[in-house]
Chains A and B, each alone.
Chain A
Amino acid sequence: MIIDHPLLGPRDAAEFVYLGDACLIDRPDPGDENAARLFHDYLHIRDNPAGEHRELWFHEHGDRSWLVVTRNTLTHEIVRVELARDVALARGRDR
């Protein structure tokens, strides 16, 4: 597998470590009155799409960037690669 790193270009997937669904960026608010349920879902409830799937990869043997890779689970085609930090900022995560 090849991941086309947004800063570094195509790199072998062997340089990366897989984590899982990119929804892990959306850590719930621990102050929410339903925090326990929200965290339960955050940790354990996953979609299993036949098609495009956004997932987190860490460029461990590279620039140490976390990436959000959009991969088609049917074809393995990778249609988009983004810096996870940019995605997180865009989704309103900050401090």
Chain B
Amino acid sequence: MSGPFRLDGGAIERGRTLAFRFDGRRLTGRPGDTLASALLANGVRLVARSFKYHRPRGVFSAGSEEPNALVELRSGAYREPNTRATVAELFDGLEATSQNYLGSLRHDLLAVNDLLAPFLSAGFYYKTFMWPRSFWERVYEPAIRASAGLGRLSGEADPDSYDKGFLHCDLLIVGAGPAGLAAALEAGRSGARVILADEDFLMGGRLNAESHEVNGRPGAAWAADAVRELASVHSVRLMPRTTVIGAYDHGVYGALERRTDHLAAARGKPRQILWRLYTRRAILCAGASERPIAFGGNDRPGIMLAGAVRAYANRFAVGTGRRVGVFTNNDDGWRTAGDLSAKGVPIAAVIDVRDGEPAAAVADARIRMNSRVVTTWGRHGLRGITLATGERIALDCLAVAGGWNPNVHLTCHHGGRPVWRDAIASFVPGDRLPGGMSVAGAADGCLTTAGALADGHRAAVAALGELGLAAAAGEPPVASDEATGAASFWHVRESRGRAWLDLQNDVTVKDVELAHREGFRSVELLKRYTTLGMATDQGRTANVLALAIMAGLTGRTIQETGTTAFRPPYTPVPIAAFAGRSRGKDFRPTRLTPSHDWAEGQGAVFVDAGMWLRAQWFPRSGETHWRQSVDREVTDTRGSVGICDVTTLGKIDIQGRDAAEFLNRIYANGFAKLAVGKVRYGLMLREDGIAYDDGTTARLAEHHFVMTTTTANAVLVFRNMEFARQCLWPGLDVHLISVTEQWAQYAVAGPNSRRLLEKIVDPEHDISNEAFPFMACAEISVCGGTPARLFRISFSGELAYELAVAARYGEALMEVLLAAGEEFDAVAYGTEALGVMRIEKGHAAGNELNGQTTARMLGMQRMVSKRKDCIGNVLSERPEMNRDDGMELMGFKPLGSGDELTAGAHLLALDAPADTVNDEGWISSVAYSPTLETSIGLGFVRQGHARIGETLRAWDALQGSDVRVEIVSPHFHDPDGELLRA
């Protein structure tokens, strides 16, 4: 039987037994069980301790609304806290542990909180931890943190993998209960692309939990047939174990599919998939959740929702007690009595708050109309109840039926609010639904099986019509059940002891009354003051009850009282599912330069530059400090020749009859007159006049240019140029395409660079200083016919070139350059040496183009053409940006030998206090210059050029540095540019 409480029938597999452990105890269940149903089948009633008072708690529901039965699943790094046992599918070898206690679940030492309950009521934190102030951080916070939280995280990285995915459909149906299945059948038969998602592993919803018939057959059997039919339709995708968690803009829904949670091991497959569902229409068939009634002692293990008790009996073949009572305010509770009786479970009593005739005859049960449960007893589980009359009834399970709340959550995700419907005493979806969504079945307040089937069918026909698809004109399935009515009965006023509302956060009726007395009457304040509805279950079984009680206290209607906002996700989603694959090295793509593998073979140290990995330096044997490698690379390059992979620079191919004019407007300096075969440095401004990027542009032909941008701004510059082309000057004939990836490009720098290149450039191309001077460019060939581009430009300040070949030849070119350069002791240099040399030369880079600097500050004011229109030209003329006492890019050297400059240091007069008033500028880039054998820096200081030779303090509180520096020219190396032109 797999457990002493197992009944006949149900949707479990009788032939197989699943072994599992709960708190170390070996138990067995059946395929088809949840952890909760298996525990109940074994008679395990105490499964958890409550959050605040550590009250004993048992399984309360049979679905995702479960407030009590939170457990930890699995072990080690796989441990998953706060899992609802009611939705955890049982598998062989499952390990579950109860949580939130000190000592043992049965003898929880923290249950002392329950005795302190009179002092721990709503608002307790706000009132208690106010004084003395000095206790806030030293005493109160550590104590509160120690006792806060529910389950324990493993503290290890999640070893599972997670995927994301994208699905498209005409019609999404959320929920596969009677309404969802009826809708899916109709839509599927019409040929529409349908996704039917349900959070349960068994589709059918309440049809599996009730004993109703559909089309003359048991509802569960009809549901199974419907699912079988849908599975055979190519255009229908069935997604069990999939919770639709949110409704987003324009028909996009989020859904979490649990792929391996029901398996002992994931075996390399993603545990869960977070889907983005693109839908044209959606029908919400999310059903309804039952609500309890508040009465004294209503939280003991064994007190459950009446619909859940039916679900355990009918679907899971589990009797939730040996003597079951029913406490109801509507006819639905009587169904529980009837279904359990039919299964042979003795019904001890049916207590109905309504006056009048019993709704049904129940064998051997005490029937009490117009009656109330005022308190209960039983320390670790229910043993009996006391009625208002004083009558005591012994029972071990009490099924509570307080009416049903439509699951309206997704209808509110775009700001809509539900509206109160008196006929069913519940909130139903309001008018403002997310676009394309309709609601059917119990979610829309249609609380009978017959009604849900018809409503689902109707909604599908309507949605298909909106989609322009012909409905299949099928008949809706029929069921014969009738409405159960609803009573607006929330709370037994004559309760003795605490009457619980939010079981997970331990909020009682008294707490709501206290909030009311203290003025926290709006639902939003009620929620925050009492923490009602703020636990992991979002108060799904508690909220309406609490609102009704608050409404009663304030004398307003429930509609006037309103609800708090429902926001995604509908049920908790692991953070790991939101991360998906974006973890560790897969957090983002890695871009590799053409010489990457070669550099790796050389033992290069790499640095992240955006998504690029670039060689930072190339250590050689014997070098123990990065500075040794970098100093050598600089010295050898300046002494002979060095090679650096500069492929990462953005490259944009620009063609068109108006290409020159276009560039003239993009760059601050003029390009219209650049000769074919020449390269020019260009500075780009933002429209507000601030410099934002620089690079070189070569004119390959009359209507053909190739531009380089900085590595960091490659994408932005391209985007801005497309904006200018399409939106500002759409009449210009100019065309852009990125060639960043197309060309492997190397800087070849140093006095021997020409001699090296002459060895590999094909002889028909003359690259002598006369034929190919500084700032020349040409399309040439190298190594016997391989097309290449050669640019005579220099970032290092040396005689230098950049040589580009198709990326496929990039790695080979690096090897050839070094092999051909052997006679010159050619070296490869990385980004660090590149940086040192550009600082020595005084070239501005990202640290200088930081979004605050103007052309004038960079010493380039003469470049900004006054005679033409270009982006940023007008506003670069603003007076404040052209003051004579403005900041100027300068060089800095420490006065003390061995002193080091730091980037970010502020510049102050020697005797001035370090404050904002005295701030004269800052150091932006620093390096150790092996050429000058001193630390050097670039930076900005007021009226710098007029102050060359002046001494200032470079003060850096962050890095604890305060050194005296001399203002010098920013061009430390070859200030007259003789080397470039050699």
Contact = CB atoms under 8 A, between A and B. Distances in A.
Query: Do A and B share a complex?
Result: yes
Interface string A30-63: 1100011001101100000000000010101000
A80 interface: no
A1 interface: yes
Contact of A58 (B249, B658, B688, B722): B722
B727 to A, nearest CB: 5
Nearest to B168: A10
A30 B874 contact: yes
Contact of A43 (B248, B687, B723, B729): B687
Given A2-B250, A58-B723, A66-B723, A94 B728 contact: no
A36 B726 contact: no
A35 B874 contact: yes
B153 to A, nearest CB: 30
Contact of A1 (B249, B715, B723): B249
A19 B730 contact: no
A39 B874 contact: yes
A94 B729 contact: yes
Interface string A48-88: 00000000101010001110000000011110000111011
Contacts of B249: 1-2, 76
B732 interface: yes
Nearest to B662: A95
Nearest to B686: A43
Contacts of B730: 85, 88-89, 93-94
Nearest to A64: B722
Contacts of B414: 75-76
Given A40-B875, A95-B658, A17 B719 contact: yes
A95 B251 contact: no
A73 to B, nearest CB: 12
Chain A interface mostly: mixed
Contacts of B968: none
A93 B877 contact: no
A36 B250 contact: no
Contact of A36 (B715, B732, B877): B877
B24 to A, nearest CB: 47
Nearest to B872: A39
B770 to A, nearest CB: 40
A contact residues, range: 35 or more
B873 interface: yes
A93 B727 contact: yes
Contact of B251 (A2, A17, A24, A83): A2
A10 B252 CA distance: 12
B contact residues, range: 20 to 34
A2 B434 CA distance: 14
B728 A27 contact: yes
Contacts of A12: 166, 252, 276, 278
A10 B723 CA distance: 22
B842 to A, nearest CB: 31
B412 to A, nearest CB: 15
Contacts of B779: none
Contact of B727 (A25, A30, A35, A95): A25
B869 to A, nearest CB: 5
A87 B877 CA distance: 30
B727 A88 contact: yes
B435 interface: yes
Contacts of A64: 722
B250 A65 contact: no
B727 A84 contact: yes
Contacts of B878: 36
B869 A30 contact: yes
Interface in B413-439: 414, 435
B468 interface: no
A22 B267 CA distance: 51
Nearest to B869: A30
Contacts of B719: 17, 58, 60
Nearest to A94: B731
Contacts of A28: 874
Contact of B728 (A25, A75, A83): A25
Contacts of B731: 89, 93-95
B96 to A, nearest CB: 39
A89 B719 CA distance: 19
Nearest to A38: B874
Contacts of A89: 730-731
Contacts of A40: 875
Contacts of B252: 1-2, 12
A40 B875 CA distance: 8
Contacts of B726: 65-66, 83-85, 88
A2 B278 contact: yes
A30 B872 CA distance: 10
A50 to B, nearest CB: 14
Contacts of B869: 30-31
A35 to B, nearest CB: 5
A35 B658 CA distance: 25
A17 B873 CA distance: 26
Nearest to B870: A30
Contacts of A87: 727
Contacts of A30: 869, 873-874
B981 to A, nearest CB: 36
B867 to A, nearest CB: 12
Contacts of A93: 727-731
A94 to B, nearest CB: 4
Contacts of A84: 726-727
A36 B875 contact: yes
B875 A85 contact: no
B687 A77 contact: no
Contacts of A27: 687, 728
Nearest to B724: A27
A49 B181 CA distance: 43
Contacts of B687: 27, 39, 42-43
B729 A78 contact: no
Given A36-B877, A89-B730, 11 more contacts: A1-B248, A1-B249, A1-B250, A25-B727, A60-B719, A64-B722, A76-B250, A93-B727, A93-B730, A93-B731, A94-B731
Q: What are the 10 A-B residue pairs with the smallest beta carbon separation, nearest first?
A: A94-B731, A2-B250, A95-B731, A85-B726, A30-B869, A66-B726, A1-B249, A39-B874, A76-B249, A88-B730
17 contacts: A2-B250, A2-B251, A10-B278, A19-B723, A36-B877, A39-B687, A39-B874, A43-B688, A58-B719, A58-B722, A58-B723, A60-B715, A66-B727, A76-B249, A77-B435, A88-B727, A95-B731
Interface of B: 166, 248-252, 276, 278, 414, 435, 658, 687-688, 715, 719, 722-723, 726-732, 869, 873-875, 877-878
